[in-house]
Structures are given as structure tokens and as C-alpha cells.
Amino acid sequence: MKANVLDLPIELVDYIFRLLDTKSLLTLRSVSQITKELAESVFMNQTQKPLIEELFLNKKKLEADLTPSDTIFLFDLLTPLMCRLQSGSLALNPSTDEMFSLTSKFFDGKTVETVQFKLDHSD
Amino acid sequence: PNVKLVTSDNEEFVVDFRIAKMSVTVSRLMEAMNMSETDDASLLSNSIPLPNVTKAVMARVIEWCEKHKNDEPKEEKENDKRGRTTHVVSDWDKEFLKNDEFGRLCQLMGAANYLEIKGLFNDISQTIANMIHGKKSDEIAEMFNIHCDLTEAEKKEIRKKTAWCED
């Protein structure tokens, strides 16, 4: 019989989930009830912030803690959803050409009180 | 000096004292049984029962311990804002674990947890986490044999909120 990850003691599954990045935790929300609850609980325990609400609801500050390529990927795909976002400030890191290009799409027609650019002097 | 370990299926493994000490559980049991490295008689007359580990899994654990017996203790560090710690799985360990099907990895992880061999436990956990990384939800469900018990309404709501991380 094929093994099921959920046959492992819950503390071991929890440990594995704690090694996952935010994107994988988001994906696990749509696998089953238990993976959804565990993924949300792991994120909440580590950040004291709800997983989805942190990204999508009305927060003073949106922090996307992702790698540059993930961030570009995220912004590109999030653009159609940005009409739902009301953010007090938005910090962009890294401030690459791609990032400027992508952010210009969702800034169009929206008001953001503060924008922070962290410049990378390595290039 | 050697230590005798007896598995749940009554197989006896004779291992080097240093290998036995890599397991916190075995270490504690040896201490409780007054077994010491300098007392050969205590090592010869006692064996350590390990009722939660089978012969097949024990053989794998010992193979891993043999390879890592001279390793320096690794320092744990948090490496992102979420406090998430990831472990670097060495090439040897990747090779060691790559042919274990998922059920076998779970058994090995259970044994590493019971025996308290942190390095092996971290290697297996990270290997499973790496298997999840970049997969879609249906691929994860298939790989880990998870039955989806979400209602259509719940799936729809989740899809709406996380459409950006699916292709």
C-alpha cells in the first residue's frame, strides 16, 4: 500500500511544513483540510500573521518575503487581483528594471501612501 | 568497544560505541544500564532493545551513521524573516536517500526521530520538503497519497485566493 504523509506523527509533518517556503504552504492549502490547517498554523506560528490575510487583506504594510524571481512571478500574476489591495505602504526589494516595469502595471489608477525602493548598488 | 542493538524483529546489530552514541536515545539507555566505553564487561553483557525500529530500517540508519561518525556538530541558523530554517542536504546524503520510496523515507524519519539522530532526521525532513517544493496541489496529493476532502465551495474559494501560485 502506498504511504500517506499524514500517517506520520503530526509533529513530524509539522516539522516538514516548517521547512517549506510561503509558496509551498499556500499550495498545501488546496491539498486537503488537514494540510490546509497545518500550513496555516505553521505560517501563523512563525510570523504571528495569517497566511492569506497577510498577502491579500487591508494591511498597513505588505511584505512579500520571496526571492527576486518569485517576487516578479508573484507581482505578474497578482496584477489582476491588485484592485482588492489597499496598502499603506509597499517596499520593493530588489528594485530591478523588471520590478519597476511590473509594479507600474498595478500602480496604474491606484493610490499608495508610501513606496520604498531599496537600491542595489551591485550592478 | 562495540555495542549490541536489538531491533523489533529480534535482529542484533553490533556497532562501534561511537556509532551507538550518535543516537541520543541509545546514549540515554546505555547510561541507564551503566554501560560505559571503558567497561567492556558492561558492553558485552548488555544489549539495547529498540522496539520501534525494524532490521531493514536499522541497517539504513547504521549506514548513515557510519558515513557521518566523524562529522562536526552542525550549527542551526534561521535563514529567513519567517524564522524558517532549511538544512543543506549533502551530495552523499542526497544519493543515500534518492532511491528510498516515500514510505521508506517515512519509516526512516520515524526511526531517526525515535533514536534522536538529529542529522539524519534533518536530512530526511529536508528531502521530503524538497519533494513538495514547486509542486502543484494535485501533484502533492498524488505523491503523498493524500485524499482531498475539501468541498467544492472551499476549493473554489482557495483557487480564487491562490490562483497566482498555480499554473
Question: Distance between CA atoms of A19 and A3, rounded to whole angstroms?
Answer: 21
pLDDT digits (tens, 9 = 90+) for B98-128: 888 888 899 999 999 999 999 999 999 999 9
* Distance to chain A for B2, nearest Cα, Å: 31
Residue B159 sits at the chain A interface (C-beta within 8 Å): yes
pLDDT digits (tens, 9 = 90+) for A29-40: 888 888 888 888
Picking from A18, A31, A47, the nearest residue to B140 by CB comes out as A31
pLDDT at A56: 44
Distances B93 to A19, B68, B75, B88, B140 between C-alpha atoms, Å: 17, 10, 18, 10, 23
Domain boundaries, chain A: 5-47, 58-117
pLDDT digits (tens, 9 = 90+) for A66-118: 555 555 556 655 555 555 555 555 666 555 666 666 666 656 666 666 666 55
Cβ distance A20 to B164 less than 8 Å, yes or no, reads no
Amino acid at B70: N
* Closest residue of chain A to B103, computed from CA coordinates: A3
Residue A81 sits at the chain B interface (C-beta within 8 Å): yes
Q: Could you tell me the pLDDT band of residue B50, with boundaries at 50, 70 and 90?
A: very high
pLDDT at A75: 60
pLDDT at B78: 58
